Structure 1
Amino acid sequence: MESEGVLLSLIHEHPMMPFNDLRRGDCCRRFESQSDGYYCKTCDFFVHKKCREEISQLINHPSHPDHTLWLRYKSCSRCDLCGITNDNLSYVCKMCDFDLDLHCAKYPPPDVIDNFETHHHKLTLVKQLTRFDCSAKCGKIDVGFPYTCCECDIDVAFHVFCVWHPSAELSYSPEVNHPSHSLHPLKLLTGDPPEYSDGRCRLCRRKIDRKFYHCSSCNFTLDLPCVLNPPPQSLLDLKVHDHELTLLPRLDSFTCNACGLKGDRSPYACFHCGFMIHQDCLRLPRIININRHHHRVSRTSVLGDGAMNSVCGVCRKKVDWTCGGFSCQRCLGYVVHSKCATREDVWNGEELEGVPEEEEEDIEPYMVIDENTIQHFSHKEHYLRRIHGNGIVYEENKRCSACTHPIGLQSFYGCMDCDFSLHQSCAEFPKRIRHVLHNDRLTLVTSKELDFFTCDACYRWSNGFMYIHETVKLDVLCGSISEPFVHPSHPQHPLYYIPTEFDGKCNGCDSSEKLLRCIEGDCGFVLGFKCATLPQVVKHRVDDHPLSLYYGEEEASGKYWCDICEKEINPKNWFYTCKDQQASLHIRCVRGDFSGLMPRSIVKWRGKSYEVMLNNSVTRPFCSYCLFIAKERPAFLKITVIVVSD
């Protein structure tokens, strides 16, 4: 099993689970007569078990005898042998950029073929890149390995795929009797489906390919997988339903009892109690983790009247309590639609039935020493003492090591032996979280363990604390956002992250990236992660008092001008202003480009080391990158970057 996992990791970037569903493989572009394989739900990527067993990382192939070919995933390359573009698995020569898809690697075209329907002489494969006009019906001008005729006086050349097909591709019966359509035999058709059909398989609803079976008398169409490996006419699975289920292979509108959604064809039905279910819902997992809840959720056949007034924990729409779904055994009333729980941006694809639940781990970030003293996991060498903010005196000389913002007016923990500080709120961030932007748990990493990074939610540079899992990185402010999220700019309604159902722009900055939205009626309030994590109060030398974040005006009453750059401010967007609104400033002019970097820290960028310095001197330095004088920024946030070593 270990070697199998290693080989699968060479084939695909995500975990793949054993899967029993006959389909055209993303490995060899063929339907197999057996359906065992491996499937990635995230990418809808399927590999035949037989192909997986035959795949090697290195091969020597007769079409390219001079060099060894290497297996490559996500090649998005054009096979030099057959000319077909392959988006998944292929073999490549690192010496001369020769590409060979897995289909041609497994089933290489013969050196000589007889295809008298296309040409009256034998055709020979030319094993070198040649520019040619295909003499078949396609007539395309191309560069590749053509079949040519050595007997004709004129140049004749054909694409490989225009004149040759593996015999297995031609072995389908011209007519079949199918258990799902016993009235008439189904005939093999090639090309586009009839205009009167809906172009989809009657059983699985997938779009039919260029080859399919059809009954013109009944307008009944099946794709090749459903013909070669038909779904069972009846089944008994007590994990799905208590009684035997029967397949109804017809077009008929129904409501699936497992997910509560409408279906239009071929459900499994129980004649004993009227239960009906999509074929896809037969494979719903039993126990899973989702990224919006801290506990496991379990599938149930009926949510029950306890969920009568509940809404789905993902889409926030009302659930049908008479249907099935997922619920939390620990949190009363927390339910999720079956389709929402198994969305690829919510579930990581792992079935947890039979997998022991992890013991409750210590996610508390600190140990309490006394009423005002803690020992934080990021600073175990010294104790931290709580210092209460008074809401009046702005502390601009200290910065929080977690979020890198100035301490400001907030309460914080300060080290009694060194210059380490944490906002009280930042000190309470747990060591592990689940987050709406990622399907696996994220771990809190301190600034001692990393260089600067770009947050995947707000896209700001930071060298503070970070939540991370594999390649996903969130700064602690974005990582702390959970549902329901309440922001001072919109206190009347909570906000939720529902990315696939809504397009809009942030009310604060007009960005369309990573949006939280209000779901109450026609409210339409939208907020991006970047604006959601802006500090409410900042300090700048243009005013003696702290500046507050102003949430714009729906109906602009006049013009505003930034006191730093002296350019106009869009009053509908957010900006900073003083108490009496005598000063107004662009957010970027206040915050700068490097507000997430700690002053006096060293960052490495493009092979060089830089020291982050406050840009608060009378004589502003030159930028070592563009060689212009650094733009003016606020005293504690206007940061310029200078080279200290190469």
Structure 2
Amino acid sequence: MSLQHFSHQHPLVFIASHGHEIEKVNCSACGELVSGSSFGCVEFGFYLHKQCVEAPAEMNHPFHRNHNLNLFTRNPYLAGTIICDFSRKTWENFVYHCSCNLDFHIKCALFSHSIAEKKNVEFQDISRIDPSINTGNVTEELKKAECFACRKPLLDSIYFSPNCGFYLHAKCVDLPAEINHLFHQEHPLFLQFNSQRLSCKICQKPQGPEFVYCCSPCKFALHIQCATIPTKINQPFHRKHPLILQSVDECLPCQICQETTNLNDFVYFCSICKFVLHIRCVSSPLIIEDKLHHEHSFTLFPRQVLYCDACGTLGNYVPYICSTCGIFVHKNCISVPRVIKFYRHQHRIPHTYFLDQNESEPWECRFCLEEVNTEHGSYFCSKCNYIVHVKCATKNSRWYYEVDSTETEEATDSDEPVDLREIHPHNLILSGDIRDFKQCHGCLLPIDTSYCYCSQCDFFLHKACAALRAKKHIWFHYCQKLLKLTSGCIFQCCMCKYFTSGFAYTCDKCKERFCLRCSLLSDMPKCEGHEHRLRRFTGESKELC
């Protein structure tokens, strides 16, 4: 028996079984080893599995209703390699191709067609593996593998044995081909390959060509997981009303993670109480352990409280509780660093859940100048009585870094003055004679008080400039390294942008230089003509004093 196949110029002869001499031949369509019956042209070494011979030249695939798929014997593109949109593997043999740039390896197209047609008889002989029971012999490849249908980790659910050639969850094979959904009542949604790369209407995440429930005419798509989540739930920490899954036209904080929702996000919402939960936060873990940041575990508490004991923020939220310490914290505040290095302060600053104090005066945050509630969390340096809100200190990742409390702290500002021999080669003499005009070579200001001068050359320094620290922490410098006092060059100050030839504090790491006027400026200076402290004003500042 022979047949003429469009992929080869010669008739293909039926081969009942392969003898030993030609047992190691590959199918020219799917690339896999030929075993059992096949069709072939022995003269040219061209063989096809019986299943590949019977594959139609044009396929109406239930998972791609927009167009038919055409079988190509070679790369349909002018250049590059083909990537199968089902298995995500590169391919060089026969491929089903659509004009919308959807490509399937021939075996993947036939296999997924069987899934769509619910020909479950093909799966009866494939063993199913429960990852919760079968914990042995799990390879690194399996740990990284994703289900070809839902693109979730393969080991998240019962899956078919990889010996079948595919990574598939058993539940994904049993998905209904058509559903009706509350959010799109005009038309039913069909299980489709997301060839149009539509974003999920619920989670808003852009998607690749995996399975989605889709209405192609309306360009409406839902993830498999998003399509099956309940549209109404009841929660123990909001017992007054049910929470409805809906799009919200307000930006409100999630009551568990405290992250503000985006406009028109789909969330679980109580419109009466303005209570919001992210979809992902509904399944927040009941117990969280983070030994790096707290010695005890935290448990989700099914009530709302007013204050977070870690960051001191006011507002109703669903907390996690450490019953040992008796503290309530935001979910995100469980991982608040124990000790940080904040760019505006020279010392490391430890976190405290409350502050012992005898003074009746309120504590003022050294960043925002607002009052700090010392009955709740803050960062406090006992060496300097420097305090800052947790939210202020950790607002920007550039402003701080977490440090190990067991490590030795590097040296900070000291009273050790600069070695003047590194600044000027000659000895300097102290003088109080200010009759003639003289200019300080350090700060470039006129000299009207005691100063040091060089008897061999025209060099003058204020007495204070001659006693400057050799190394200094500068509060507005993000590198957080001590800067070294240098001289002898013309430079542009990285703060005020003026060019100067005076002294500079220079960072060895980033090479930034700052003039003395900027380097000696306090982070919260006081002016005799104004009752409040002054803060640095930038273009990002929203208000003045």
User: Per-residue deviation at 1:299?
Assistant: 1.1
- Inter-CA distance 283–179: structure 2 relative to 1 (3 Å threshold): farther
- Inter-CA distance 264–148: structure 2 relative to 1 (3 Å threshold): farther
Q: Indicate which of 307, 315, 321 corresponds to 2:374.
A: 321
Is 1:356 aligned to 2:408, yes or no? yes
**Secondary structure class of the residue paired with 2:525:** coil
Matches within 5 A, 1:44-443: 119-122=66-69, 148=99, 161-162=197-198, 165-167=208-210, 170=223, 172=225, 174-175=227-228, 181=235, 193-195=246-248, 201-207=254-260, 214=268, 223=278, 226=281, 230-235=283-288, 245-248=298-301, 252=304, 254-270=306-322, 275-306=327-358, 308-309=360-361, 310-331=363-384, 333-344=385-396, 347-359=399-411, 364-367=416-419, 375-379=420-424, 381-388=425-432, 390=434, 393-395=436-438, 399-403=439-443, 405-439=444-478, 440-443=480-483
Q: Is residue 469–residue 485 contact of structure 2 (8 Å, CA) maintained in 1?
A: no
> Separation in 1 of the partners of 2:269 and 2:228?
10
Q: Is residue 466–residue 476 contact of structure 1 (8 Å, CA) maintained in 2?
A: yes
Q: Indicate which of 468, 473, 495 corresponds to 2:506.
A: 468
> Separation in 1 of the partners of 2:494 and 2:472?
16
- Inter-CA distance 207–235: structure 2 relative to 1 (3 Å threshold): closer
- Inter-CA distance 487–419: structure 2 relative to 1 (3 Å threshold): farther
Matches within 5 A, 1:575-614: none
**Secondary structure class of the residue paired with 2:401:** coil
Q: Which amino acid aligns with 1:119?
A: N
- Inter-CA distance 217–292: structure 2 relative to 1 (3 Å threshold): closer
User: Per-residue deviation at 1:458?
Assistant: 1.6
Q: TM-score, normalized by length of structure 2?
A: 0.51
After superposition, the C-alpha distances for 1:605-638 in whole angstroms (9 at most, x for unaligned) are: xxxxxxxxxxxxxxxxxxxxxxxxxxxxxxxxxx
Structure 1: stretches of 5+ with no match in the other structure: 1-111, 129-146, 151-157, 368-374, 505-516, 518-523, 525-646
> Separation in 1 of the partners of 2:269 and 2:371?
41
* Structure-1 residue corresponding to 2:51: none
User: Per-residue deviation at 1:419?
Assistant: 3.0
- Inter-CA distance 288–500: structure 2 relative to 1 (3 Å threshold): farther
* Greater CA drift, 282-291 or 479-488: 479-488
After superposition, the C-alpha distances for 1:68-103 in whole angstroms (9 at most, x for unaligned) are: xxxxxxxxxxxxxxxxxxxxxxxxxxxxxxxxxxxx
* Structure-2 residue corresponding to 1:513: none
Matches within 5 A, 1:563-578: none
**Secondary structure class of the residue paired with 2:364:** coil
Q: Is residue 418–residue 468 contact of structure 2 (8 Å, CA) maintained in 1?
A: no
Matches within 5 A, 1:487-498: 487=527, 490=529, 494-497=533-536
Q: Is residue 464–residue 475 contact of structure 1 (8 Å, CA) maintained in 2?
A: yes
> Separation in 1 of the partners of 2:532 and 2:504?
28
> Separation in 2 of the partners of 1:320 and 1:496?
21
> Separation in 1 of the partners of 2:430 and 2:196?
75
> Separation in 1 of the partners of 2:372 and 2:252?
32
Bigger Rg, structure 1 or 2: 2
User: Per-residue deviation at 1:474?
Assistant: 1.9
* Greater CA drift, 197-206 or 158-167: 158-167
Q: TM-score, normalized by length of structure 1?
A: 0.44
Q: Which amino acid aligns with 2:491?
A: F
- Inter-CA distance 492–262: structure 2 relative to 1 (3 Å threshold): closer
> Separation in 2 of the partners of 1:410 and 1:276?
58
After superposition, the C-alpha distances for 1:324-365 in whole angstroms (9 at most, x for unaligned) are: 22222323x332222223232883223232222125686633
- Inter-CA distance 216–426: structure 2 relative to 1 (3 Å threshold): closer
**Secondary structure class of the residue paired with 1:495:** coil
> Separation in 1 of the partners of 2:321 and 2:342?
29
Q: Is residue 444–residue 467 contact of structure 1 (8 Å, CA) maintained in 2?
A: yes
After superposition, the C-alpha distances for 1:536-578 in whole angstroms (9 at most, x for unaligned) are: xxxxxxxxxxxxxxxxxxxxxxxxxxxxxxxxxxxxxxxxxxx
User: Per-residue deviation at 1:480?
Assistant: 0.9
Q: Indicate which of 436, 443, 447 corresponds to 2:487.
A: 447
User: Per-residue deviation at 1:498?
Assistant: 6.6
* Structure-1 residue corresponding to 2:133: none
After superposition, the C-alpha distances for 1:410-453 in whole angstroms (9 at most, x for unaligned) are: 433222333333232333332332333223134135233x5x43
- Inter-CA distance 288–240: structure 2 relative to 1 (3 Å threshold): closer
Q: Is residue 314–residue 498 contact of structure 1 (8 Å, CA) maintained in 2?
A: no
**Secondary structure class of the residue paired with 1:394:** coil
User: Per-residue deviation at 1:284?
Assistant: 1.4
**Secondary structure class of the residue paired with 1:299:** strand
- Aligned identity (percent) is 26
Q: Is residue 376–residue 427 contact of structure 1 (8 Å, CA) maintained in 2?
A: no
> Separation in 1 of the partners of 2:356 and 2:398?
23
Matches within 5 A, 1:518-537: 524=545
Q: Is residue 432–residue 441 contact of structure 1 (8 Å, CA) maintained in 2?
A: no
> Separation in 2 of the partners of 1:319 and 1:199?
24
**Secondary structure class of the residue paired with 1:172:** helix
The size of the alignment, in residue pairs, is 348
Q: Is residue 441–residue 459 contact of structure 2 (8 Å, CA) maintained in 1?
A: yes
User: Per-residue deviation at 1:499?
Assistant: 5.4
- Inter-CA distance 180–337: structure 2 relative to 1 (3 Å threshold): farther
> Separation in 2 of the partners of 1:389 and 1:340?
49
* Structure-1 residue corresponding to 2:495: 457
Q: Which amino acid aligns with 2:66?
A: H
Q: Is residue 114–residue 122 contact of structure 1 (8 Å, CA) maintained in 2?
A: yes
Q: Is residue 315–residue 498 contact of structure 1 (8 Å, CA) maintained in 2?
A: no
- Inter-CA distance 437–198: structure 2 relative to 1 (3 Å threshold): closer
- Inter-CA distance 260–406: structure 2 relative to 1 (3 Å threshold): closer
After superposition, the C-alpha distances for 1:469-521 in whole angstroms (9 at most, x for unaligned) are: 31643212111101442456x376543337598446xxxxxxxxxxxx7xxxx
Matches within 5 A, 1:533-548: none
After superposition, the C-alpha distances for 1:227-274 in whole angstroms (9 at most, x for unaligned) are: 6xx543134668867875432366x45111222211332221356776
Q: Is residue 345–residue 438 contact of structure 1 (8 Å, CA) maintained in 2?
A: no
User: Per-residue deviation at 1:285?
Assistant: 1.2
After superposition, the C-alpha distances for 1:125-159 in whole angstroms (9 at most, x for unaligned) are: 8679xxxxxxxxxxxxxxxxxx8469xxxxxxx99
